[in-house]
A = this chain, B = another copy of it.
Amino acid sequence: MARAKSPSRHALVDSALKLFWKRGYHRVSMGDLVRETGVGRGSLYSDFAGKEALFHACLDRYQETVVTPAFGGVEAKGAGLAEVGQYLDKLLARNAAHPGPDVGCLVLNTLAQVTPEETETLARLKAHGRRLQKGLYQALWQENQKHQKLDEAEIEALARFTLISLQGLWAQSRGSRDIEALRQYCKTLLELLANRLGTDEVTT
């Protein structure tokens, strides 16, 4: 029936994801996507309803191939502050690997450009936030078991704080090449969290 698709669907989405991530949704044209993916213009429109649908596929793939590998450790059963530290290390390592100004987080970049009308896109961004929040809550809860200094509401607040604060890390990484500043930020964040939870050293 169908002829073998030249680049597999995953490869296609990966190429598109790379472009969207680097330049942001609005700065990528369909022409760019045709050039980058190697897939014909007509085929793009028969595989996806349009530019926005393709972007949604990219957001989903981003969760699988970027968020899960980095954040999965925090979501794992029994994870604590140490796993949060490892997550931060992964973010820093990715940042250091890039040559130019970093690309930051696809979700956060999109958030700053999206309009209230693009409800489908917004829904995906919110789901991402809930995912991180939940993972952080579990890890902090686990860590709190050691000394039981906080009640559940306080852990909830601390997880929320961490999530919002982390968004600053991504925003910052877009504009600055100063990796040392980012490293220092991560170190301070971990110290503050450890301090509040009563854990005095964090072993990564």
Q: Is A69 an interface residue, CB under 8 A from the partner?
A: no
Q: Is A31 an interface residue, CB under 8 A from the partner?
A: no
**Number of this chain's copies in the complex:** 2
In contact, B171 and A112 (Cβ under 8 angstroms): yes
Contacts A165-B168, A168-B165; A158 near B111 (Cβ below 8 A): no
Interface range for A: 35 or more
Closest to A171 in B: B167
Whole-angstrom distance between the alpha carbons of A76 and B125 in the complex?
Answer: 38
Whole-angstrom distance between the alpha carbons of A157 and B170 in the complex?
Answer: 18
In contact, A174 and B112 (Cβ under 8 angstroms): yes
Residues from 77 to 131 in A contacting B, C-beta threshold 8 Å: 100-101, 104, 108-109, 111-113, 115-116, 122, 125-126, 129
Task: Give A contacts to B, CB under 8 Å.
Answer: 23-24, 26-27, 100-101, 104, 108-109, 111-113, 115-116, 122, 125-126, 129, 157-158, 160-161, 163-172, 174-176, 181-182, 184-185, 187-189, 192, 195-196
Question: Which 5 A-B residue pairings sit nearest by Cβ, starting from the closest?
Answer: A112-B112, A168-B168, A167-B168, A161-B188, A165-B165
